[in-house]
Structure 1
């Protein structure tokens, strides 16, 4: 009897509903056992209807075509649920991923369908969807000790950078629910960092004031419980980074001040060509003059001149601004995962340092906020390219990510930093 293709979505839905019900009613350990029996052992599942539906999906040609999306959805059902629970429950996720990864050797006594299920899961483990699961596993198994070890791969630091989650953990097959849950998880992680950074800054303000009162940092620390540095940068580096992004960089002008002035000024540009010239002047104004004249100015000027040049006579509009700023990010950081050349970015970090380099990118973001996901995607490309590399070999990228996390927290979150505007408040020399 031919397989009824029209019933395929219904059979999948029956499996989804069954597993979802079990996930909500049973312990994570019981759910793990269910998944092991159904997808790893691939035989002996107690619910006959579910086992038969899965077997029919595996047998059908149509089912094979949508196999990865089906498995991705099924495997993310418990993960999505557990991610919304406590951190203790979340720790089952790495074990769940490990279970799916360790498919035992095939046995001769297995039925053809059981072999087909296990082969399907084995093939799924080579897909981008499973790579996203592996990254989530790394994110949840990382700990402060691993993160402090410079010999560990960059992947141990992924959890520190919520702005990378959407790009590194989601794939084309990700469901709407997975995207929603991951966004909530990202917001929770970012919120935790914002709170830690806010407490750290407040503590530094108090320390600076007490130092002034007692005339000695050592004496001041006796009257204050120090809050730990939430960054992996050294204390002096964090203070300098905070001063750069919170206090003025041109006299008392902040990055927001400079961006606002540019937005007002560039609104008068009658042509897109004029806008690009103004944009060039805005960007190079805070670049070290020596380095700019040697390297960056000419390259940047040429890039902007040639970028979207066929619209030079048009009146600037939001779409053109979004496109030209996105092109700038590709030029300054990295173009794509197909063209991974990032020599210019590496040169910028080497000569300007990570703080001023991130500041240059921040200036672009602040005049075109909609490029936020384009900016973070550039760094996701670099992260994915180097994620298996020891951190000490890509120190420039590590420092860039730490600095970017601070810069985005200060400028793109709800954290109020007006109280700490003065550089002196943060204890500068």
Structure 2
């Protein structure tokens, strides 16, 4: 390339929009993946973003350098790296022979050289790649890699000894909030949605077969698909799907309260009745909940929630906002420094079944906040993902119970659990 050619190429990149340059970069990686084996593509990715000193296609190298030197690159380049990673990881995740390449790609970012580089461009790109590992985009990408089946060459490690983060695959209701970020494009949303649907269907079928086996008392050829002991599983299933008040299930009672709420005169009156609807199973199971500290705190919280609307009739906005705030109160407040002392205490005092049953009553009454419940539990999961499972048994058991409660009440498997 002559000096004039080099100048014209550099100049054209400078004049191109960021979106145009990114699309050329994504197209290059897509072409590499289609034409080369995964190992070769990973080597090129490493040279481009980790070693950051070479690319066989000089034009692509110039594009990466230009993007790395654009204004706000420290804020924006993470989105470019994220999209580049998924351009390779999404297709590989659907190809069993290339599953190994997904965690291999993610792990590269943990090994960016920190020694001074000969070229300023290399130093800049390496810095941006290191910054990427401190973002929510990288956290979501790392969790995505945890979903991929990779043959285990060593001895099987008991679940109790594994990190919580490695268990994400078991809990499809966590996928959306764990794997998607605010910049996730529609393709990534579709991919996560498909993974969630497949996981829910698989687990739903396993639950149905195991329950059928238990009912018929046949030889135990179908394993328990949960981490709960068989007696605890049976008790939880019965509670989430069976009769809890007279001849009515949680679903029946939610429907009745939903019908009643349409006739209530004011939001103030609704909140008092809502408290009774939520806590009646707890009070029936444990007389302490007739008037204990938790009940008084929850009553006060509801009374103070959206109090400016107390004299108004119910609207969808009021109901949804109230239920979201209620889930914050019951499960966890905040994301950066989550506070969940109240939730932990409720689990300790009332147990997993009654506690998850309480959450189930909220989302059965207002299904629009089911994603918010999933989000709140995801905050807990992500906060503890580096812990070993045996260190937080309360969390693992809660996730197992939530799987059963949500799948049996919201799943569509053509099987009656009641």
Give the TM-score, by structure 1 length: 0.87
Compared CA separation, residues 44 and 331, structure 1 to 2 (3 A): closer
Compared CA separation, residues 139 and 234, structure 1 to 2 (3 A): same
What is the CA–CA distance in structure 2 between the aligned matches of 1:181 and 1:399, rounded to whole Å? 28
1:68-90: CA deviations, max 9, x gaps? 1111111121112223x144433
* 1:40 equivalenced with 2:38 (yes/no): no
* 1:95 equivalenced with 2:104 (yes/no): yes
Q: Once superposed, what is the RMSD of the aligned Cα atoms?
A: 2.3
Compared CA separation, residues 186 and 91, structure 1 to 2 (3 A): farther
Q: 2:287 aligns with which of 271, 286, 290?
A: 290
1:380-418: CA deviations, max 9, x gaps? 111122222222222111111110011110011103443
1:175-198: CA deviations, max 9, x gaps? 332222122212222221112111
Aligned residues: 403
Compared CA separation, residues 60 and 99, structure 1 to 2 (3 A): same
Runs of 4+, deviation exceeding 6 Å: 141-147
Unaligned runs of 5+ in 1: 208-219, 422-429
2:238 equivalent in structure 1: 243
Question: How far 1:142 moved relative to its partner?
Answer: 8.3
What is the CA–CA distance in structure 2 between the aligned matches of 1:87 and 1:42, rounded to whole Å? 29
- Does the aligned pair in 2 maintain the 1:142–1:157 contact within 8 Å? no
2:383 equivalent in structure 1: 385
1:258-284: CA deviations, max 9, x gaps? 111111222210111111111111112
- Does the aligned pair in 2 maintain the 1:128–1:171 contact within 8 Å? yes
Q: 1:175 aligns with which of 153, 178, 185?
A: 185
What is the CA–CA distance in structure 1 between the aligned matches of 2:151 and 2:208, rounded to whole Å? 22
Question: How far 1:147 moved relative to its partner?
Answer: 7.2
* 1:29 equivalenced with 2:39 (yes/no): yes
Alignment of structure 1 residues 138-153 onto 2, 5 Å: 138-140=146-148, 148-153=158-163
- Does the aligned pair in 1 maintain the 2:99–2:150 contact within 8 Å? no
Unaligned runs of 5+ in 2: 1-6
- Does the aligned pair in 2 maintain the 1:410–1:417 contact within 8 Å? no
What is the CA–CA distance in structure 2 between the aligned matches of 1:142 and 1:325, rounded to whole Å? 40
What is the CA–CA distance in structure 1 between the aligned matches of 2:99 and 2:256, rounded to whole Å? 46
* 1:76 equivalenced with 2:76 (yes/no): no
What is the CA–CA distance in structure 1 between the aligned matches of 2:121 and 2:149, rounded to whole Å? 34
What is the CA–CA distance in structure 2 between the aligned matches of 1:62 and 1:307, rounded to whole Å? 40
Which deviates more from structure 2 when the two are superposed, residues 306-315 or residues 170-179?
170-179
Q: 2:356 aligns with which of 341, 349, 358?
A: 358
Compared CA separation, residues 45 and 6, structure 1 to 2 (3 A): closer
